[in-house]
Structure 1
């Protein structure tokens, strides 16, 4: 006796089989690599349909449709991203202050782009003066003066492969009058040379291989802002004197010792580099050898490895790089003649 499945059992079996097939298709799709740019422009897509039927005398007949062939159009898309981790610390009056950007071609064909910059944007404390846009010639992502190439619109517009990226830099001069902690922004733009417009705008025949070029979601133009922040340190320099006379008092008589204290306090943000102090020995006094100190530590009079020296007519102390919020104190002694 042969078992025959009921209608419900047969339906359940078919449903289970179809679900299993769909699962296999989904797994295969997930395993396939994903390309942000999609199928390359100019790629030919062809397919032909097939129909089968039962012949009256038995057997199966087959008929094929005509072949439909399409060529993938070119998608125009570009994005610009500021790549510095935060505000670029600059100095008032500083030149060649660098902002770094990444320009990415999100389209499906190699594309040339025109770069530009805007500095008068509003919403900041001052406008930097953009002096140049520079292309990262050696591809290390860091501005290298004398190595990377200055960008000249129409002359060396960068061509970027589909899904590819380049680094570009904005170099600016910051105004000398900018105050400590002031911020300013500059914008880098990248514009497709094949066309821009609202998404979906098309340009017949200008795409790779003569296909139509179609503007994507970015409108064919990308932009991003980068920010500068001024670090401006200042030094307040104060000199005081105390007197000890031979009688245990403070009268300024011959034989009295004068201790001079020089206090340099750095304020603002950042630091001051190579800060030095000096003081001439005043007329009517004589320097007391070995009395120079820096922050309470004794220094030698000789021009040697430590920071201090007596030149024969003055004392000099190198303070090095001094961070803001720091006070460096130098003392020395003279005797009233």
Structure 2
């Protein structure tokens, strides 16, 4: 069972907006500095004169070793939630982990979900399932199942950065909107390639500095739901259900009648009427796999091969720049992105997608009996 974040500690520590809430922005990072264990030695000299003679003498050599300063930064990549669909599997959120320690480190990785909603992240109302964490093995920034298998960061050099993926499944449940997740990286002992070391333990603050011992000092900052100087850092991301608000508008206009022709036609028997169905998507996401059906109204006869699909909607008029469809559902006209047919009772049209704020139309014509 995954670890859970139960306390909204340090909510006021986050000063960013949206999902870009990381303990340390990469642009503000300091470098790791002199490597831990390096010996620094220094010797002083003094010059003086006695009875007109110049003399010098040297001090003893003062030596100490550089202690280990544990620091790291975890950042979410992209700045926006991962848009997902209900029931989708292996959905990916992406992070980076940078080793700001002055030594090579392992890092243990945890994926957490929220028990409480964090206003800066958006309302959390469901949990993802089958949550996994993987390290980008080849540095291409893209999760590859079966390739990216490592579940911890192994022997990361000072100032080096790796990409880490949280991979999860989305439940097929009605009404869900967003799941907030976070990646927590914990400094671990290095030294044996291919093996995750135990969590690093800081030297007690009450222990006096020893010039011959490499002490361990935690130097990581605080962050949202994160304590300072604990050898850990986290960043947040979210899975958000994609949404598209699709609306239909249907209009009818008389094109001609048997008495007036094209001049001021009226809806009398024998008149030709064009129906225009406009498909509009208010967004924010693209709507896919759209099928429009329209039962032929009574007292009208469908005009064969009058169906057009995919034209740009303009008011209540179908601009006839769409795909011209014949009456069946097979043939060359079905090989383009749009499709359409008439089965003697119902007009059908298919559109592969409708982009937000770019309406598409379906048009066909009938004769009034």
> Shift of the alpha carbon at 1:237?
5.3
2:236 pairs with one of 218, 225, 235: 225
TM-score (norm 2): 0.64
Asked if residue 143 in structure 1 is aligned to residue 139 in structure 2, the reply is: no
Question: Relative to structure 1, is the Cα distance of residues 309 and 230 closer, same or farther in structure 2, using a 3 angstrom cutoff?
Answer: closer
2:67 pairs with one of 73, 78, 81: 73
> Shift of the alpha carbon at 1:201?
7.9
Alignment partner, residue 192 of structure 1: 187
Asked if residue 125 in structure 1 is aligned to residue 124 in structure 2, the reply is: yes
Alignment partner, residue 3 of structure 2: none
Contact 2:65–2:214, Cα closer than 8 Å, also in 1: yes
Q: Which runs of no fewer than 5 residues in structure 1 stay unpaired?
A: 1-33
> Shift of the alpha carbon at 1:280?
7.0
1:51 pairs with one of 46, 50, 64: 46
Q: Which has the larger radius of gyration?
A: 1
Aligned length: 293
Query: Which secondary structure state, in structure 1, belongs to the residue aligned with residue 144 of structure 2?
Result: coil
Alignment partner, residue 155 of structure 2: 159
> Shift of the alpha carbon at 1:268?
4.5
> 1:247-297 CA deviation, whole Å, 9 max, x = no partner?
99868x8x7877655454434521112323355779998642221134331
CA RMSD, Structure 1 to Structure 2 (Å):
4.0
Alignment partner, residue 296 of structure 1: 319
Contact 1:52–1:60, Cα closer than 8 Å, also in 2: yes
Pick the structure with more helix per residue.
Answer: 1
Alignment partner, residue 272 of structure 1: 287
Contact 2:203–2:217, Cα closer than 8 Å, also in 1: no
Contact 1:292–1:308, Cα closer than 8 Å, also in 2: no
> Shift of the alpha carbon at 1:89?
2.9
Give distance in 1, aligned partners of 2:149 and 2:89. 15
Q: Which runs of no fewer than 5 residues in structure 2 stay unpaired?
A: 1-28, 190-199, 222-228, 260-264, 310-317
Contact 2:126–2:178, Cα closer than 8 Å, also in 1: no
Question: Relative to structure 1, is the Cα distance of residues 326 and 170 closer, same or farther in structure 2, using a 3 angstrom cutoff?
Answer: same
Give distance in 2, aligned partners of 1:202 and 1:290. 89
Give 1:1-337 correspondences, 5 Å limit. Answer: 36-56=31-51, 58-120=52-114, 121-123=116-118, 124-129=123-128, 131-140=131-140, 142-146=141-145, 148-152=147-151, 156-177=152-173, 182-194=177-189, 195-196=200-201, 200=205, 211-218=214-221, 219=229, 220-236=231-247, 262-278=277-293, 287-294=302-309, 295-297=318-320, 299-301=324-326, 303-304=332-333, 307-310=338-341, 315-325=347-357, 327-334=359-366
> Shift of the alpha carbon at 1:245?
9.4
Give distance in 2, aligned partners of 1:89 and 1:54. 80
